[in-house]
Structure 1
Amino acid sequence: MKIHTQDIERFFTHFQNRHDIIMAAQFQDNNKDDNLVCKSILLCSIIDTLSKCVYSTSPNRERFPFFLDDFSGWPHRDRISLVQLHYFLETEADIKYEQTKLYVANRFKNLAHGMMQHSDNDELLNKIPHLKSVESEIRMFSYANLLYKYRNSVVHEFKAPGSGMDFGISEDVYYHSMSHYDLRNDEYVLIKNTWELVFPIKFLSKLVLQSITNLKSYCIIHNINPYNYFYFDTAWLSKKEVKRK
């Protein structure tokens, strides 16, 4: 049996270097938000690429969260964002959400406005009161799923969801409070206060580096050549793609 250690080393060194180049890059001198979006897109693309090594036959909607579960080492990925769940439930009248709605609203009102909140304050699904019939819907608010939502937004819309700001000081997912104003009759009027979810660039960087480390170890242990899961031919479309039913 051929040992693929050299190919494994070359593959993961390449993506380690790509990560370092991305983090050092300056895409727009005067626009911090554009810089962060560009870096987020590229870091998410590394996660997408790495996930093909182990879930090559799965659609990306499944492959991305599966990879986070198995290789990211992210301890809060399965926790439920009570803030995001609250914004869904506050306009939901269906009685099946009632016990969840009351619990989440009570937690939400205790958030200290003006302070940053972190994902370690949230809970796993089994700690949140709910009916079995709504379990799959509540699971949509897990951080792993919200990161996939974030990935889709930056990749396809060139913007992060919501109005959150990356202050550049945290390596962990966080929320910050925000006051929204509207100009009326030459005066700014407070419209609402919100809690904005942020996946900071330092968090994405840490996630990518940990994923590289964990997947590399997996490939070494199982003697997996990661290059086997990518197409390098001059012809852009493979026969498998053309003949796909």
Structure 2
Amino acid sequence: MSEVELQENIEMYLSVVKGIKDSMNIIQGESYLENHKKTLLFSVIDMLAKGVYGTTYRHRTAMFENFILQFCEWEHAERISLQQVVHLLDKTEEGQYQELKEFAKNELYKFPQDRPVYFSYDSNYDQLKELMPTGETKILGIPLKTLSHVSLLWKLRNSLVHEARAKGTTQTYDDMIEPHYIHYTTIGKDSENNVVTTEKWEICHPVGFFNKLIDTALVNVKEYLETNSINPYGNYDFDPLWIEVKRERLNSTTT
């Protein structure tokens, strides 16, 4: 393939991706519209990752997370969610991870409750790891790094794509693009009819955030494809046979 043909393929591919993304943003409906848009936009991220990496990764988790980190310029992607850390630590026995518990709960207490809280308030991995028992990187078998925001985004993707079920809370502030926490206070009654107040934080990923990730990726993917002379169409299977036959099978001699 000539350089001109390669450039034409790259530009055509990215134009198609942008067109698909734009069409998703104009869908209309009365129920679950925010969830539907996020589900569709996740598929665009998957599409771009496929165009860049092809079959490089055996596991989709690694491909998705590495794509976000490499191409989407999400500043807080690798910060650890203190809200999730506290939820996980609440399941441990009393006395376990005491230093980490005190730190995480104190930091969460500092979050301003009267406005959305950006993920910049969260801690980084090394900071929290130092508060864990020596040599430990897991809590109840859960690696601390799986509570990073990029990993949680993968969890949200799977919940929406495979179960049509969102995690976190829906968008409250129309002008917000960056993901954030929102504080809720609920009032109820206990078994003895006493008034009980519950405080909680929920994670919110606005639809605009997904568009921002994709728009940023489109620019960076273009440069990457051009620099590495990658034809993105070569990473997709256009065979009329829907079931993919592995290349080594095609090249092997059968007797």
Report the TM-score, using the length of structure 2 for normalisation.
0.85
Where structure 1 has 5 or more consecutive residues not aligned to the other structure, the ranges are none
Q: Does the 8 Å contact 2:25/2:37 carry over to 1?
A: yes
2:137 to 105, 111, 134: 134
Q: Indicate conservation of the 8 Å contact 2:169/2:202, yes or no.
A: yes
Residue type of the partner of 2:8?
A: Q
Aligned twin of 1:18: 20
SS of 2:66's partner is: helix
Distance in 2, matches of 1:191 and 1:209, equals 42
Shift of 1:22: 1.1
**Which residue does the alignment assign to 1:6?**
8
Change (3 A) 1:42 1:188: farther
Report the alpha carbon displacement of residue 169 of structure 1 after superposing the two structures with TM.
Answer: 1.9
1:149 counterpart = 2:155? yes
Q: How many residues align?
A: 239
Identity, in percent, stands at 26
Cα distance in 2 for partners of 1:99, 1:156 equals 37
Select the residue among 242, 248, 254 that pairs with 1:236: 242
The answer to whether the 8 A contact 1:81-1:143 is kept is yes
Is the 2:39–2:160 Cα contact (8 Å) retained in structure 1? yes
* Counterpart position of 1:100: 100
- Cα RMSD (Å) of the superposition? 2.6
The answer to whether structure 1 residue 64 and structure 2 residue 67 are counterparts is: no
Larger Rg: 2
Return the offset for 1:189. 5.2
Q: Which residue of 1 aligns with 2:200?
A: 194
Among candidates 31, 40, 44, match of residue 42 of structure 1: 40
Q: How far, CA to CA, are the matches of 1:25 and 1:64 in structure 2?
A: 25
Shift of 1:188: 11
Letter in 2 for 1:6: E
Distance of aligned partners of 1:241 and 1:103 in 2 relative to their CA distance in 1, 3 Å threshold: farther
Structure-1 residue corresponding to 2:113: 113
Cα deviation per residue 1:188-233 (whole Å; 9 max; x = unaligned)?
9545221000111011110011111111110011111000000111
Q: After the TM superposition, which parts of structure 1 deviate over 6 Å for at least 4 consecutive aligned residues?
A: none
Aligned match of 1:178: 184
Name the CA shift for 1:166/1:42 in 2 (closer, same or farther; >3 Å). Answer: farther
Residue matched to 2:253: none
Counterpart check, 1:158 vs 2:156: no
Match of 2:231, as an amino acid? N
What's the secondary structure of 1:13's corresponding residue?
A: helix
Structure 2 unmatched ranges of 5 or more: 250-255
Counterpart-to-counterpart distance in 2, 1:41 and 1:159: 10
Deviation at 1:69, TM superposition (A): 1.2
Distance 2:236 2:197 in 1: 50
Amino acid across the alignment from 2:14: F
Deviation at 1:61, TM superposition (A): 1.5
